[in-house]
Structure 1
């Protein structure tokens, strides 16, 4: 059984439910419980109490309209594997009076299946398609708590915050894109508390692995299509190159032993590739052609601080194709970029950057975060380890009329 299971095998469920009810009442009344709640439950109750929620007065459930649910389904990264999840879970749910639920990353219920009797009970809780089941909406529950904890969660009976949910168990686990790492949603199996089986948690884990492997399989099929579509163009291109998809996954390597993924390409933004140096991605059908600048290539950047900060970039001689672009920066991003440029070719580290930004040594993590935010705008113009301008990049800072 998974480490996150709420009940150990062999536990008398009725007795355990009564103990948890006393724990729930004591903790929420500010008293001393007969046993301490599990830490995941304790953390969740603390968050929910901080929101001012009342366990005996559920907040109103306001499900989204059918059209909005359909739109979310179409846009969900889980839609390609929902049928596979059904094949694994729905038969078990029907046999055990359970409910199978799939939500999006916002905790909105997009798909729900199970026996008609269990669905009717869930309807009375507002546990229906279009409803939001985050902690802020309905208190401690496996879906919302799994989202808050970024981990699988199983809750039994009175571990739920709302008293109306005590007759239930729920087992939920997040699903992430194996391609981007983004949270796509949550898979949940819920049912009458006294029907909880030790295998339910393992079943949920299996369904998540199935969903993620199915998404990866589709990703590999997408890369194969990209390879085929690029073949006519690649016959006309010389020199080392890569063909990558919109997430930076490599479909074709030529003249370079690149890894499986490079930085996410963006139109007009240079990207640094190990073994190729500074490159400019060029749109190629559904993917990108990534080729290096020639050694003599330069990228001239100007940071204009005369008003709201603006970065203007021009790819000079030696680039595989010309082009210029500009991007608005925040004051903080402009400050980071100026400090990085001032460090010269030897670069700087997060500690020194933190001192330059905040005036002391206590902001190393914040400095790293600021660089990450800057790189989301300027791409690999700023290199890392150490932080510096990428090879071939020059930066001029203009502070006002006539300034430099």
Structure 2
């Protein structure tokens, strides 16, 4: 069987080794099964599939997407979807999408979906029978259909690459989605060019046609023009200014990210002490006195004069309108990567938390309060991932173990080795890593 499939694949190659025709559904399924089992390398994959699909499969596997997932997990609490819809920049353009796509989708076997830029589905409408079938794979409002959440799929991969594309049947990474085909195009803010989301048509094989691609592309352009017209006429409010964002996780230098008057992002590198202060203030919205802040920053000989000097310098970096005193506090709401991880954990969305976690909090910091937060965040995420792995979600555990904190996590590697549903190659790798840890530890 394998030899036969390889001969079929070989007939679809050019001299440079890339596929020139789309493999048959049976060939695609065979390539998919061999890729999931770890039996083929990247060169074979690229020669067997369209490059955009091969690269998406590799990204999906690398981030731990489960090919047997039973539907994309909720991106946030379902109760928040109404608020998200009301405030989303694409909401004013929904009548245009309905007029061009949804109204003709009834009795056509087609589902029309609109997603946010992070892959969260906002609206899913169209043929009632098709919508009910799509619910079986959780293709519903509030679900995360980003590529990181659901693997290769048209809206998620269109957002990941910021380009229009089609995914045919078995080109989907996850098996439950492979009976469907889909076409999606990204939508951008007409003023800033920022990615707002994607428009998607999902249905049978007829959805992945050149005519459908032209229709979805034209709808995306119509939506962008409609948003621009509303903005010029003053009917729609200008997009809300993005909140300042604090980046303090992972190995990169801490950064303060803001948006200028033209909508362009600007990143300012922070000193370690300034990053410590902003983290502590973000976790203490009630404010902190100079004495309290001194103790949190350094349990040795840091005095309030030094703290006040640092606050004066920090005020020049982030703006006097952002930082208050007596007590020291943030005067405007901000977002942060550490806050996003904690929020996702509080909502019970372990996958979203892991997506946002790029590494430990400010590893060079000498602040005892920051060290406590670092340990709290890492330990909470680890326990949550282990709990998910006990329910058979090995992909999340595999992603955790690939982080620096997980490489020597013996209990984690043992849990992965013993996880139900793990393929033989992954189980052998986990066992080998365990053997290496035991050898090192004697």
Q: TM-score, normalised by structure 1?
A: 0.52
Matches of residues 79-94 of structure 1 in structure 2 within 5 Å? Answer: 79-94=91-106
SS where residue 106 of structure 2 aligns?
helix
1:49 corresponds in structure 2 to: 61
Post-superposition shift, 1:25? Answer: 2.0
For residue 23 of structure 1, the aligned residue among 17, 23, 31 is 31
2:314 corresponds in structure 1 to: 310
Matches of residues 174-193 of structure 1 in structure 2 within 5 Å? Answer: 174-193=186-205
Query: Does the CA-based 8 Å contact 1:93-1:115 persist in structure 2?
Result: yes
Query: Is 1:207–2:244 an aligned residue pair?
Result: no
- Deviation per CA, 1:292-328, whole angstroms, max 9, x where unpaired? xxxxxxxxxxxx9942423559xxxxxxxxxx94667
Query: Does the CA-based 8 Å contact 1:156-1:193 persist in structure 2?
Result: yes
SS where residue 97 of structure 2 aligns?
helix
Query: Does the CA-based 8 Å contact 2:180-2:203 persist in structure 1?
Result: yes
- Deviation per CA, 1:173-200, whole angstroms, max 9, x where unpaired? 1111102222211100010236643311
Larger radius of gyration: 1
**For the structure 1 residues 51 and 245, does the alpha-carbon distance in structure 2 shift closer, same or farther, using more than 3 Å as the test?**
closer
Query: Does the CA-based 8 Å contact 2:185-2:220 persist in structure 1?
Result: yes
Q: Could you tell me how far apart the structure 2 residues matched to 1:84 and 1:195 are?
A: 20
For residue 109 of structure 1, the aligned residue among 121, 146, 163 is 121
Moved more, 156-165 or 95-104: 95-104
Post-superposition shift, 1:60? Answer: 6.1
2:163 corresponds in structure 1 to: 151
2:210 corresponds in structure 1 to: 198
1:366 corresponds in structure 2 to: none
For residue 135 of structure 1, the aligned residue among 140, 144, 147 is 147
Runs of 4+ in structure 1 deviating by more than 4 angstroms, as ranges, are: 32-35, 63-66, 244-247, 324-328
Greater fraction helix: 2
Q: Could you tell me how far apart the structure 1 residues matched to 2:68 and 2:222 are?
A: 38
**For the structure 1 residues 218 and 95, does the alpha-carbon distance in structure 2 shift closer, same or farther, using more than 3 Å as the test?**
same
Q: Could you tell me how far apart the structure 2 residues matched to 1:90 and 1:107 are?
A: 20
Post-superposition shift, 1:161? Answer: 0.5
Matches of residues 5-404 of structure 1 in structure 2 within 5 Å? Answer: 16-32=24-40, 35-58=47-70, 61-62=73-74, 64-94=76-106, 96-193=108-205, 196-222=208-234, 264=261, 306-308=309-311, 309-312=313-316, 325=320
Structure 1, gaps ≥5 residues long: 1-10, 227-243, 248-262, 267-303, 314-323, 329-404
Q: Could you tell me how far apart the structure 1 residues matched to 2:74 and 2:93 are?
A: 27
Q: Could you tell me how far apart the structure 1 residues matched to 2:206 and 2:31 are?
A: 18
SS where residue 189 of structure 1 aligns?
strand
Paired residues in the alignment total 238
**For the structure 1 residues 327 and 124, does the alpha-carbon distance in structure 2 shift closer, same or farther, using more than 3 Å as the test?**
closer
Post-superposition shift, 1:164? Answer: 1.0
- Deviation per CA, 1:124-160, whole angstroms, max 9, x where unpaired? 1110111111122211111111121121221001110
Greater fraction strand: 1
2:401 corresponds in structure 1 to: none
- Deviation per CA, 1:197-216, whole angstroms, max 9, x where unpaired? 33111111001000000001
**For the structure 1 residues 164 and 109, does the alpha-carbon distance in structure 2 shift closer, same or farther, using more than 3 Å as the test?**
same
Q: TM-score, normalised by structure 2?
A: 0.48
Query: Does the CA-based 8 Å contact 2:154-2:167 persist in structure 1?
Result: yes
Q: Could you tell me how far apart the structure 2 residues matched to 1:101 and 1:187 are?
A: 6
**For the structure 1 residues 29 and 82, does the alpha-carbon distance in structure 2 shift closer, same or farther, using more than 3 Å as the test?**
same
